[in-house]
Structure 1
């Protein structure tokens, strides 16, 4: 069971690392991401924060996944 949990955590981490940066690139190209002067808007900043949290969770999942595989 611990090995399955470790694999699931690693798969989740890889998925997040591959998915969220691509999403952020699309958000950055969105017209709502910058105002007329080219400054980032709240729309972009909120999405940057979401991606940062997702990357931290992916890193934690990867660490816990490796730990589970080693312990299991």
Structure 2
């Protein structure tokens, strides 16, 4: 794969940003009272946010890997 160096750096920066920003948000979601019902079971609020955050982190990791591979090659 061939991209100009500035574009590879933008991909790396974007991937790193994603992997830094989302985990603290996920921890706050787990602590949110709306995450569990009265019996302690996970609610739709938790499930939806967990899926959104995990998908974003997977895409962020893929972006980071693509940026690094592009920069190295």
TM-score (norm 1): 0.90
- 8 Å contact kept, 1:12–1:58: yes
**Structure 1 equivalent of residue 38 of structure 2:** 36
**Structure 1 equivalent of residue 67 of structure 2:** 65
Dislocated runs of 4+, deviation >6 Å: none
Residue 8 (1) aligns with residue 10 (2) = yes
Between Structure 1 and Structure 2, how many residues are aligned? 71
Question: Any stretches of 5+ residues in structure 1 without a counterpart?
Answer: none
CA-atom RMSD in angstroms: 1.1
Q: How far apart, CA to CA, are the structure 2 residues paired with 1:34 and 1:16?
A: 26
Q: How far apart, CA to CA, are the structure 1 residues paired with 2:29 and 2:4?
A: 37
Q: How far apart, CA to CA, are the structure 2 residues paired with 1:68 and 1:5?
A: 9
Shift of 1:39: 0.7
Q: How far apart, CA to CA, are the structure 1 residues paired with 2:4 and 2:72?
A: 9
